[in-house]
Structure 1
Amino acid sequence: MASIVKRMKLGSQGLDVSAQGLGCMGMSAFYGPPKSEEDMITLIHHAINIGITFLDTSDFYGPHTNEILLGKALKGGMREKVQLATKFGIKRVDGKIEVRGDPAYVRACCEASLKRLDVECIDLYYQHRIDTSVPIEVTMGELKKLVEEGKIKYIGLSEASSATIRRAHAVHPITAIQMEWSLWSRDIEEDIVPTCRELGIGIVPYSPLGRGFFSLGPKVVETYYEHDYRKDLPRFQPENLEHNKYIFERVSEMAARKGCTTSQLALAWVHHQGGDVCPIPGTSKINNLNQNIAALSVKLTPDEMAELESFASAENVKGERSWNKVYSWENSDTPLLSSWKTVE
C-alpha cells in the first residue's frame, strides 16, 4: 500500500519521521483496560502501511506491556519501516510515582527496553520526566554513552523547562522535546518553543486532541472505564467541564464550516504550528486513526488560526491540564553539576 503521509525532519540531527506519529499508550494503559493484542497489532500494521511510521511508547505504559506489544508488532520485517521512540524515568513504587535519572537507572532501563522491544537499537530515547535531584548533565552523560555504544540513536526530553533543555543540549544534542500541546494547552509557546527552534530541536506534541476532549467534547466522560486516569484531571471535573463545553461547541461550529470533524480541526491547528512539529495522537481504533491522518489535509488561514485560538484562550479554559505540576516542565530544573559533585 502506498504511503499517504508525508515525511519530515525531526530536529536537526538527522531523524526522519512521518509527519504524524502514533501514540501507543492508550492501547495498554491509563485509558481503561488493555485492548486486544491482536487488534492493536492490526492497528499498528495499518498505521505503518499507510505511512505513519513514528511510534511512541514508554516503559511506564503498562508498565512494560506496551513495549512488549510493540516488540511483537514489529516482527516480520516491520522494524526496518519505523522510527521507534520510547522513554525511561518514571516508575511506580508502593503506589506512588517516582522519577529517576541517575546513570545506573538510565542504563538499566535502556537495556530492559531493548529486550522488551526485541530490537538492537532505539531510534529516539526520551527522559520521560526530569529527576530534580540529579543534574541534567549527569543523566545526559549516560545517555551520550548509550548513543556512542549504538544502543540509542537520538536523545529526547519530555516535560523539560527551557533552562533544562539548554543544559542538556550542551552535553549532547537533543533531537526532540515531547510536551503537551493542543488548542487548550499552550503554556510551552512563550519560552520552550522558541528555545527549541533556536537550538534546532524538534517538537513532539502529546495529547494534541486534549485527551479526547476535541474528539467528543463533554461526552468524553461517558467513555471512561473504571481506572481511566482522566477522571482525576481538573479540566474533566463536572464544574470545569460544564464551562469548557463552550470551547468544544465553538470548535464544532467552525469544523462544520470547514467540512471536517472537531478532532481534525484541532489536530490541524497543531500541524500548522510549523514544519518542526510532529504530533502523536493516540488511538485504539482504525477509524479514528484514519480520521487523524485526514487532519493533514485540513488547511487553515491565519485568520482561522486566530479564531480557533480565541475559543480556547487561557482565560476561557477552566482547570489545570495536569493533576500534579511536580511532574511538568514548570518544576523540572535540576541541581547545578558543581554543587551536586560537592555533595557527592
Structure 2
Amino acid sequence: MAGSVIRRMKLGSQGLEVSAQGLGCMGMSSAYGSPKPDEEMIALIHHSINSGITFLDTSDVYGPYTNEILLGKAVKGKREKVELASKFGNIILDGKWEIRGDPAYVKAACEASLKRLEVDCIDLYYQHRIDTQVPIEVTMAELKKLVEEGKIKYIGLSEASASTIRRAHAVHPITAVQLEWSLWSRDAEEDVIPTCRELGIGIVAYSPLGRGFLSSGPKLLETLLEDDRRKIHPRFQPENVEHNKLIFKRINEISTRKGCTPAQLALAWVHHQGSDVCPIPGTTKIENFNQNIGALSVKLMPEEMAELESLASGVKGERHPSAARTWKNSDTPDPSTWNGQ
C-alpha cells in the first residue's frame, strides 16, 4: 500500500496534521492480555507507517512505560514520518489507580516520556485523565511551559468535561480531545463534542470498535485471556452480552449487505461524523490493521447512518468499569482555591 492512499487531516486549529486514521498502541503492551513480542509489534508499526497511518498513540501508563519504549525503538530513523501522541496523569501503584496533574508531576512525566520515546519533542501530549484535586488552569500552565520549551508541540486532553475543556482552552489552545466514541459509546455527543467543535478542537476517537466487540461480536469473549482487562468491563458481563450481541448481529447484517466487514462498517461510521474526527483503532495483527484501513473507503448513505444509530442506541452496560475516570466526573476546583500542594 502506498502512503499516498491515506488522506491527511488537520487535527484542531493549531496546525497539527495527521493521517485521517491513527494506530492505538496500548494493546501491544498492556490491558488486553500479555505483551506481544517487540519484533512483531515493531514490524506492525513499520507497516503502519509505510501504509500511510502515521499518527501513533501511546501513554506512559501502557505497560506501564513499556509501550513508550517500544514506540521509541519503532520510530528510530523514522521520526520525521510520524506524529507521536503520548499521555500523562494515570499512575498505577501497587494495583491502585492514582491521577495527578500537579505541575511538578507534569514536568517530570514529560521528561521521562521523552527519554523512553528517545525523542526531543512529543507532537501531541494529552492529560490522560483529569486530576480533580488540581485546577485545570494549574495543569495547563505547566503544559504551556513545556510548549514554550519545545518539549511538546500541541496540548490535548482525554476524558475531559465540556467545562474543563473551556477552562483549559482559555489558558492555552487545546489541539485535540481524546474520548471514547463509537456506535455503542455516544454519550460525549451531548455536550463534549459540540464544545470541541465550537472551540475548533480536533476529536480523537478511542475504542472506535467497542474494544473489539463491534468487529468480532460475542465470540471475542471466548478468546480473552485471564489478564485481559475487558473481562471486568460492564458491557462484557453475561447479563449484558446477551442483549449486546443482538446489536452486533444487526451490524453484521448491514456490513454483509454493504460488502464490507463489521469492523469496517463501525469505523466508517466514526469517519462519517466529520472531517475533524480521527479514530485510533488498536490492533496487534497486520491483517486486522489492513482491514481497518479499508474503512476509509466505505461510504455510508444518510439512511444507513440512521439505521446504524437506531440499533446502537440500545446498548446495555456502562462503557467503563469506573465512571469516576471519565469526563462525567472531571471538573476541577476553582484556581483561586489552589495553594500549590
Q: 2:57 — aligned with what?
A: 56
Compute the displacement of 1:2 (Å). 2.4
Q: 2:318 — aligned with what?
A: 320
Mark the runs of 5 or more structure 1 residues left unpaired by the alignment. Answer: none
Q: How many residues end up aligned between the 2 structures? A: 340
Normalization by structure 1: what TM-score? 0.98
Aligned partners of 1:200, 1:14: CA distance in 2, in Å? Answer: 11
Deviating 4+ runs (over 4 angstroms): none
Compute the displacement of 1:280 (Å). 0.2
Deviations 1:277-322 (A, max 9, x none): 0000000000000000000000001110000001111xx1110000
Q: 2:336 — aligned with what?
A: 338
Query: Aligned letter for 2:181?
Result: W
Aligned partners of 2:267, 2:279: CA distance in 1, in Å? Answer: 8
Aligned partners of 2:334, 2:327: CA distance in 1, in Å? Answer: 17
Deviations 1:154-188 (A, max 9, x none): 00000000000000000000000000000000000
Q: 1:136 — aligned with what?
A: 136
Q: Give me the identity figure in percent.
A: 76
Mark the runs of 5 or more structure 2 residues left unpaired by the alignment. Answer: none
Aligned partners of 2:79, 2:338: CA distance in 1, in Å? Answer: 40
Deviations 1:8-27 (A, max 9, x none): 00000000000000000000
Instruction: Determine if the alignment matches structure 1 residue 8 to structure 2 residue 9.
Output: yes
Q: 1:200 — aligned with what?
A: 200
Compute the displacement of 1:147 (Å). 0.1
Compute the displacement of 1:200 (Å). 0.4
Query: Aligned letter for 1:108?
Result: A
Superposition pairs of residues 103-122 of structure 1, within 5 angstroms: 103-122=103-122
Normalization by structure 2: what TM-score? 0.99
Aligned partners of 2:94, 2:215: CA distance in 1, in Å? Answer: 35
Q: 2:42 — aligned with what?
A: 41
- Does the residue aligned with 1:140 lie in a helix, a strand or coil? helix
- Does the residue aligned with 1:220 lie in a helix, a strand or coil? helix
Compute the displacement of 1:239 (Å). 1.1
Aligned partners of 2:152, 2:84: CA distance in 1, in Å? Answer: 10
Deviations 1:105-161 (A, max 9, x none): 000000000000000000000000000000000000000000000000000000000
Q: 1:304 — aligned with what?
A: 304
Q: CA RMSD in A?
A: 0.8
Q: 1:86 — aligned with what?
A: 86
Query: Aligned letter for 2:185?
Result: S
Superposition pairs of residues 1-344 of structure 1, within 5 angstroms: 2-3=2-3, 4-75=5-76, 77-313=77-313, 316-341=314-339
- Does the residue aligned with 1:32 lie in a helix, a strand or coil? coil
Query: Aligned letter for 2:104?
Result: A
- Does the residue aligned with 2:278 lie in a helix, a strand or coil? coil
